[in-house]
Structure 1
Amino acid sequence: MQSDAAANSPGTPAEVARRLIEQNTYVTLATSDGAGRPWASPVWFAPRGLAEFYWVSRTGRRHSRNIEARPEVALVVFDSTAPVGHAEAVYVDAVAGQVDDVDLAAALAVYSGRSIERGLPAWDASAVTGDAPHRLYVARAIDVFVLDETEGRVSVPVR
């Protein structure tokens, strides 16, 4: 990816990362199964800063099954409409899984908050627990970075 965007985008790497995450509604989620076979899925997401990324999926979907087998994931947030030579992206190495009961209320507040912000309905616990077909997932960032003008990784503080 040509990264003229880094030179054209004002702000620190953290500001660039936050702007991209705020402006985009889908993240590409890269998972792999127990044998290491990769799979990438676009998922609608809600971030909590640069540290956590939430989405709702059915447990039987390939990416959800992969996370059960191998929780290490990678995420990319980018604007696919950017002209060639002006693309920017946020890259994240993370560990993912279903949100547990202890964290569910806080996670739903983040997810529902973004949903409402974008003109979509709120989510409540009944939509992601019990007999509901969906579950709320989280990817917790280990490393976040953007690319500089030479396409080198620039680490972004997660917290």
Structure 2
Amino acid sequence: MDYLESAERSVSILRANRYVALATHDEQGPWAAVVGFVPVAPHYLYFVSRNCSRHGAAVLRNPEVSGAIYDSTSTLEEADGIQFSGSCRETDGSESLLRLFLDRAADSLADPVDEELAAFRANEEFRLYEITVREAYVLDQREWIERGIDTRQRVDVAALFAAVESGYAR
């Protein structure tokens, strides 16, 4: 059986998937929300959400987050994903950052980028959030396939995001 290196697999996972299961924590306890994201080097995931959402309000009080990025349609034999920890903050919503987010998400938007930008600006609850990924892990494929042991391999976050970023430069 051929095994892909963890770095190669992590790049593939981050490029192929658009959603992250984001975990936050507030006074009511832990919370998970699925949000659409775009990756940006050197180690950021950006997403748009309402500031009154539970996860939006939670990161204002406790910026520590974790998440999982994976293909939920894969079979057990194909299962793979990135698990990460980091911190999250509401950005200043600058025009350049919003355009970067919308341009990278353009193929999954309902409307053209300029219309999406206008809709974002028209809704006072919409915010652009930035996750700074500190640590990331992928499944140890060899251990899983050969021994059925569910363990993780650490991924170099800077190298992961640099490789993903190079795909946007084309």
TM-score band by shorter chain is 0.7 to 0.9
2:75 partner letter:
P
Is the counterpart of residue 113 in structure 1 residue 103 in structure 2? yes
C-alpha separation in 2, matches of 1:50 and 1:96: 15
Question: Once superposed, what is the RMSD of the aligned Cα atoms?
Answer: 2.3
SS in 2 for 1:107: helix
C-alpha separation in 2, matches of 1:109 and 1:79: 26
C-alpha separation in 1, matches of 2:74 and 2:54: 29
1:42 partner letter:
V
SS in 1 for 2:157: coil
Could you tell me which residue of structure 2 aligns to residue 65 of structure 1? 57
Q: Given the alignment, which residue of 138, 144, 158 partners 1:146?
A: 138
Could you tell me which residue of structure 2 aligns to residue 32 of structure 1? 25
Relative to structure 1, is the Cα distance of residues 152 and 106 closer, same or farther in structure 2, using a 3 angstrom cutoff? farther
Percent identity over the alignment? 28
Q: For structure 2, which runs of at least 5 residues remain unmatched after alignment?
A: 144-149, 159-170
Deviation at 1:128, TM superposition (A): 4.7
SS in 1 for 2:134: strand
Q: Given the alignment, which residue of 5, 15, 21 partners 1:22?
A: 15
C-alpha separation in 2, matches of 1:55 and 1:130: 17
| Structure of larger gyration radius | 2
C-alpha separation in 2, matches of 1:61 and 1:9: 40
C-alpha separation in 2, matches of 1:119 and 1:61: 20
SS in 1 for 2:99: helix
Contact kept? 1:90, 1:146, Cα under 8 Å? yes
Could you tell me which residue of structure 2 aligns to residue 45 of structure 1? 37
Query: How many correspondences in the alignment?
Result: 148
Is the counterpart of residue 75 in structure 1 residue 67 in structure 2? yes
Deviation at 1:127, TM superposition (A): 4.8
SS in 1 for 2:138: strand
C-alpha separation in 1, matches of 2:7 and 2:60: 30
1:55 partner letter:
F
Contact kept? 1:46, 1:110, Cα under 8 Å? no
Deviation at 1:152, TM superposition (A): 2.4
SS in 2 for 1:16: helix
Could you tell me which residue of structure 2 aligns to residue 155 of structure 1? 154
SS in 1 for 2:105: helix
Q: For structure 1, which runs of at least 5 residues remain unmatched after alignment?
A: 1-6
